């Protein structure tokens, strides 16, 4: 657990990482993920994400976020892939997707994607929520563009892991990733449930402190195996795979009732014969005298 005091070891680490911090401030998150502990953390994340993405199929895949995760597209079995980087980010096209996949590069915010609704099969959001203008808006946008039963993969920093502890002390530097807002897996699950997602997989990675000293990082390599077994939810980063529920609308047909009424609505008119027998002058009997019918009263 880091200390915010001015210890000799921390001063040495700050001196070694002064160049790294300036480079990260210029290049953004891509700069931090390209070397030192950021590169090691990214390799751990991509190892988990590549195994998950290799089992996803479809026609369209979109990677939204840092271009440092473009190598993930090489493991994808989706036919068409696209990369959406933030408008103010550095689209490092040095790392390009495999030549057999048509990859389009776009610049847009995560909460305003220039994509049609229900058109994407897989959406990847690596470290997007931490630096998005509206984290929940970015999730809503991902839900909008995803087709039914499409998959959403999230990669984020764990606020209760080593990255969260270092952020508490290094946030004042004003450089990513320490300036981002870290969200716990519990909060992400709640947001996904409200948007109609089912969480499929949650895995943690990188259980070492993000020291800038490579020798110290190598000595702490045993924490990866021990952390995965003893405290799997305290990793510095996590990978979440969720599936969008397919909501179907069943049309309700009205029941047609067959009319059983023999006459139309209103008062039934009497026939001429019945009218002749019923309509009599006053004092006339209701029964015709010539009729042989007689009333027989049984009794006394």
Domain interval for residue 85 = 8-244
pLDDT digits (tens, 9 = 90+) for 150-172: 999 999 999 988 888 888 777 66
- Is residue 294 assigned to a domain? no
- Is residue 235 assigned to a domain? yes
Question: Is the four-CA dihedral 178, 184, 187, 193 of positive or negative sign?
Answer: positive
Separation CA 112–CA 90 (nearest Å): 19
Largest CA distance in the chain: 135
Give the H or E element holding residue 150. strand 146-157
- Is residue 32 assigned to a domain? yes
pLDDT digits (tens, 9 = 90+) for 73-83: 988 999 899 99
Q: Which of 101-115, 206-220, 271-285 has the lowest mean pLDDT?
A: 271-285
Enter the tokens of residue 198: 């089912």
Phi, psi of 129, deg, nearest 5: -65, -30
- Is residue 76 assigned to a domain? yes
Q: What is the DSSP letter of 157?
A: E
CATH number at residue 160: 3.40.50.150
CB distance 238 to 155 below 8 Å? yes
Count of domains forming the chain: 1
Give the H or E element holding residue 216. helix 214-219
- Is residue 259 assigned to a domain? no
pLDDT digits (tens, 9 = 90+) for 91-142: 444 444 444 445 788 889 999 999 999 999 999 999 999 999 899 999 999 9
- Is residue 65 assigned to a domain? yes
Separation CA 30–CA 89 (nearest Å): 8
Q: Is the pLDDT of residue 237 over 90?
A: yes
Separation CA 28–CA 108 (nearest Å): 16
- Is residue 196 assigned to a domain? yes
Percent of the chain exceeding pLDDT 90 equals 36
- Is residue 236 assigned to a domain? yes
């Amino acid at each position: 657990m880091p200390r915010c005091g001015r210890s000799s070891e921390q001063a040495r680490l700050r001196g070694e990482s002064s160049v790294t911090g300036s480079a990260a401030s210029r290049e953004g998150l891509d700069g931090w993920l390209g070397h030192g502990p950021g590169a090691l953390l990214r390799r751990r994340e991509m190892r988990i994400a590549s195994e998950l993405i290799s089992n996803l199929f479809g026609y369209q895949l979109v990677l939204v976020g840092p271009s440092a995760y473009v190598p993930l597209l090489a493991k994808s079995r989706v036919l068409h892939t696209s990369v959406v980087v933030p408008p103010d980010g550095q689209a490092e096209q040095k790392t390009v997707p495999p030549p057999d996949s048509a990859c389009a590069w776009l610049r847009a915010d995560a909460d305003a994607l220039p994509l049609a609704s229900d058109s994407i099969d897989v959406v990847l959001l690596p470290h997007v929520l931490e630096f998005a203008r509206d984290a929940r808006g970015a999730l809503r946008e991902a839900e909008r563009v995803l087709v039914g039963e499409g998959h959403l993969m999230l990669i984020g920093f764990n606020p209760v892991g080593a990255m969260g502890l270092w952020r508490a002390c290094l946030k004042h530097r004003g450089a990513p990733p320490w300036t981002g807002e870290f969200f716990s897996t519990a909060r992400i699950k709640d947001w996904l449930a409200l948007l109609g997602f089912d969480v499929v997989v949650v895995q943690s990675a990188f259980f070492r402190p993000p020291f800038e000293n490579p020798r110290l990082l190598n000595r702490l390599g045993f924490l990866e195996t021990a952390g995965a077994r003893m405290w799997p939810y305290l990793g510095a980063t996590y990978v979440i795979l969720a599936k969008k529920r397919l909501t179907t609308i069943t049309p309700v047909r009205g029941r047609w009732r067959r009319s059983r009424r023999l006459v139309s609505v209103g008062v039934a008119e009497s026939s001429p014969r019945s009218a002749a027998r019923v309509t009599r002058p006053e004092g006339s009997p209701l029964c015709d005298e010539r009729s042989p019918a007689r009333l027989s009263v049984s009794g006394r």
